[in-house]
Chain A
Amino acid sequence: MPLERPQDAHILVHNLTMAYGSLVIQRDLTFGVQRGDIFIIMGGSGCGKSTLLRHLVGLQAPAQGEVFYDGQSLWQVEPAERERMMRRFGVLYQSGALWSSMTLAENIALPLEQYTDLSPSQIDELVSLKLALVGLAGFKDYYPSALSGGMQKRAGLARAMALDPDILFFDEPSAGLDPVSSRRLDDLILELRDSLGATIVMVTHELASILTIGTNSVFLDADTKTMIAQGDPKKLLAESHDPKVRQFLTRGEPHA
């Protein structure tokens, strides 16, 4: 189904071209994300996956094209309006990106203090809840530097969920995690999608995650500088004839 009209999709990327100065990263990206999708952005290293995520969350303006959320343009609106739209997003960065001068509780409480009129005790309860959801109950007063990498990621996830966002963005959530933790994070992501009704957009290399939880995807290619496949990753694995897509989804094993 060609996606032409912005209102057709929850998130619509339309003819997006990304560039740093005159260096084009990707061009003419057009794809849609439906509500409740677990949408995977995949592709080889250095093809612009994280850059695409930065465009989606409002950190970097496109060289050309547009991103629509429920039919509303993200980049052709006033900055104040964009800020309001961005408040519906929760973003988990590659490194966790917790504010290192604050405790976990303060990290999660900050957006709540800024955007809600809740009392301190209500905020405290919410903070405890979010930390418990990611399995970090009791770590409220820890500073990020005192936590392991995996715990920082989970704390980052708790903060991303602070304002109960509609859309969660993950930048390589399982990078640097052991297989068991990575699997648990996948379960958590599924759980969040089902319980919060959130849409999830994630950049990942983790084949296991892509094939088990991904419901839709786009495949970026660094050589042609554009997308070469989109759709359910399981279907892509079964049906795609593109050698690059096949190579990626089968880890380069020719007859898998």
Chain B
Amino acid sequence: MDATPSVTHPHGTLDVTRPTANTLCVRLSGQWTIQAALPSTTEVQAQCEAVPGVRRLSFEASDLAAWDSALLTFLLKLKELCDQRQIEFDQEGLPHGVQRLFALATAVSEHEAQHETTRVSFLAWLGQSGLDMAEATRTLLTFLGQVALAFGQFIRGRARLRTVDLRLIVQASGAQALPIVSLISFLVGLILAFMGANQLRQFGAQIYVANLVGLSMAREMGAMMTGIIMAGRTGAAFAAQLGTMEVNQETDALITMGLNPVEFLVVPRMLALMLMVPLLCIYADLVGILGGAVVGVSMLHLGIEQYYQQTLSALHLLDFVVGLIKSSVFGILVALAGCLRGMQCGRSASAVGAAATSAVVTGIVWIIVFDAVLTVMYDILGI
């Protein structure tokens, strides 16, 4: 390499000459590196097209100062051009290192990857989507069946699981969720009271804020907010845990040890949420009512005692039961969504991320759908 004075913008140049009638010679000079400004292949292409009858492309590189992969990609493009036009590609004039790398890059690999990029017609796409959906439904039903069988085993005391796992999951999904549940439900109670206060004040009926907050929290918002928090917090965690176990072959190791992953991994997680979500829901109901009371006392100037009595008269035990039933269902849904997506996880790090995302989305969708169904059912039953 010669000592080219360092220029602020290194660049490579090329000249195309015609030493004989059917030969095109490309003279490379300057810096052919990825940092440099490089000429494109269009000039050579133009020369090839301008004068027909070119049969050979040769190179002259005595003034080439520096080169790297940038030169190789340029040469590969030229080679492709030559192959299309049946022009002989003569690499004799290139530096020795370039020739060797070029040979490596153009060698046909043993197992050429078979990429079939066939264009899929709309009907084929529609059919495939239908089949995929049927397959997804089948997987879901199989999973539900497995969970039901595993629970059967558990009830008969024959399920293989570790109680220490159950305790840890209960702690992580119950006690450790208290701060976030407190914050969210307090604020939801507060918001409900604010919204109601503005309307009710027009009729001088501020005291009914207590009814509004109490009933909405107990019947609906407590269960729904807890469910959604659990979907985002615990459902995603379940999917990520089980997904990582899938990636690390830990699930396979369970199976070969004769341990059923549904019994060992899914049952404790379902149990934990079945126990914890209703408890968190009751807690959220109370904190939400407290949030409403704060607004009632400070903004609407209601007495604490008055607010308390009004809440008591508005709420019946049945209202809490209605919310509790909902929250138990939501707990099961969140655990199912998290575990299902975790067990379906592919074998890569990005698949774990996708599984966690999918668990949250599935969990929230299921919660809202089942909430609607339950609300309609309550209405029909008149409770």
Contacts and interface: CB of A to CB of B under 8 A. Distances in A.
Q: How many of chain B's residues touch chain A, expressed as a range?
A: 10 to 19
Contact of B111 (A59, A83, A97, A222): A222
Contact of A91 (B165, B241, B248, B253): B253
Given A93-B252, A99-B253, A115 B258 contact: yes
A94 B256 CA distance: 14
B55 interface: no
A90 to B, nearest CB: 8
B248 A100 contact: yes
Contacts of B162: 110
A95 B111 contact: no
Contacts of B245: 99-100
A89 interface: yes
Contacts of A111: 257-259
A99 B261 CA distance: 12
Contacts of A114: 160, 257-259
- Chain B contact residues: over half helix, strand or loop, or mixed? helix
A46 B258 contact: no
A57 B257 CA distance: 10
A58 interface: yes
Given A97-B249, A99-B250, A222-B111, A86 B256 contact: yes
Contacts of B111: 46, 222-223
Nearest to B160: A114
A74 interface: no
Nearest to A80: B258
Given A46-B111, A114-B160, A97 B248 contact: yes
Nearest to B251: A97
Contact of B250 (A59, A83, A86, A100): A100
A97 B160 contact: no
Given A46-B111, A97-B249, A99-B250, A91 B256 contact: yes
A86 B260 CA distance: 12
A110 B249 contact: no
Contacts of B254: 99
B255 interface: yes
B247 to A, nearest CB: 9
A89 B256 contact: yes
A87 interface: yes
Contact of A59 (B165, B248, B252, B259): B252
B261 to A, nearest CB: 11
Q: Which of B248, B255, B257 has the most CB of A within 10 A?
A: B257
A98 interface: yes
Nearest to A45: B111
Given A86-B258, A99-B254, 7 more contacts: A86-B256, A93-B249, A97-B248, A99-B245, A100-B248, A101-B165, A222-B111
Interface of B: 111, 160, 162, 165, 241, 244-245, 248-250, 252-259
Shortest beta-carbon contacts, A-B, top 3: A97-B249, A97-B253, A93-B249
